[in-house]
Amino acid sequence: MGFALGPRAIAAGYKLAASERTGSTNTDAIESARAGERGPIWFVTAEQTAGRGRRQRAWVSPRGNLAASVLEVLDIAPAVAATIGFAAGLAEEAALEKVSIEAALRLGSDRPRYTLKWPNDVLANGKKLVGIGLEAEAVGDRLAIVVGIGTNIVAAPEGTPTPAVSLAALGVQISAEELFSELTDAWVEFRGIWDDGRGFAEIRKLWLERAARLGEPIAIHTGTKVLEGIFDTIDDTGCLIVRTAEGRRVPIAAGEVFFGPVRSVGAA
């Protein structure tokens, strides 16, 4: 079975570029935009060797895991484009729920619980299962937006800031091809709700319903400092709002979130 778009994605006019092996699906997508591709189009590979995660960490996807990127070329501002990551998280979570139905019936109360971690991760039982990376670049008078989604299906990396897990380790036996097809259809739904940023209020509501550790202590490493507080909400621009011990509500635009107190930063 090869990679194929889902029926909703096909009906919505998405195209597909699939490969056996590539350095990075995000790079493939942005280079195609520079060359004139205007999408929407999915790039997917059976094996990714030189991907980039947050803070330029290596994002290698061995055969059996899923590495995919979708290119959308839109007439929107970069700040608005950044909120598309929340739609991507919702799409991935919905696709995972769908492919996990058999496992849920078989495992019962031991089934995986999927939650969303700010800004762009999907967790399974509190461990990182999915990383989502955004890139944007001006092409003509529009913005090429690439959403890269990497899912640990058969294997998970070790030594990551947030402990990682694979679907196989959780008892969910599915293929990258199965998940990809469901993801492309779920993307049509949540990208439609997002509606070039006009529907972010609804995306925000749906995301918060699935947010990991909402209302609980967190620590955020911003690169220059560490801030502790309670995960209060996300605002209408997608910033994380932290409530400090002094009662201040501090917006965070970018950073690495760790659950628990400040001593958890850098753990595992």
The model's pLDDT over 126-143, given as tens digits with 9 standing for 90+, comes to 999 999 999 999 999 999
Higher pLDDT, 160 or 192: 192
The whole-angstrom separation of Cα 94 and Cα 101 is 11
Task: Report the chain's C-alpha Rg in angstroms.
Answer: 18
pTM, to two decimals: 0.92
CA separation for the pair 63, 45 (Å, rounded)? 9
Q: Which helix (H) or strand (E) holds 190?
A: helix 176-194
User: What is the distance of C-alpha 210 from the center of its chain?
Assistant: 13
Residue 264: predicted pLDDT? 45
pLDDT digits (tens, 9 = 90+) for 32-72: 999 999 999 999 999 998 766 554 455 557 899 999 999 99
Thinking of the domain 7-209, which architecture would CATH place it in? 2-Layer Sandwich (3.30)
Q: Is a pLDDT exceeding 90 seen at residue 268?
A: no
Burial of 72 (0-12, 13-18, 19+ CB in 10 A): buried
Cβ-based neighbours of 42, under 8 Å, separated by 6 or more: 5, 9, 14, 15, 16, 17, 68, 69, 70, 71, 180, 184
In terms of Cα–Cα distance, which of 117, 128, 125 is closest to 213?
117
Residues of the chain with CATH 2.30.30.100: 217-264
Residue 57: its pLDDT value, please?
54
pLDDT at residue 266, as a whole number: 44
The per-residue pLDDT for 263 is 47
Q: Does the pLDDT value for residue 193 go beyond 90?
A: yes
* Token pair belonging to 58: 């290596």
User: Which residues of the chain does CATH 3.30.930.10 include?
Assistant: 7-209
CATH number of 217-264: 2.30.30.100
Return all residues near 125 (Cβ < 8 A) that are at least 6 apart: 112, 113, 165, 170
* Alpha helix ranges (H) inside 12-163: 25-34, 78-81, 84-99, 101-107
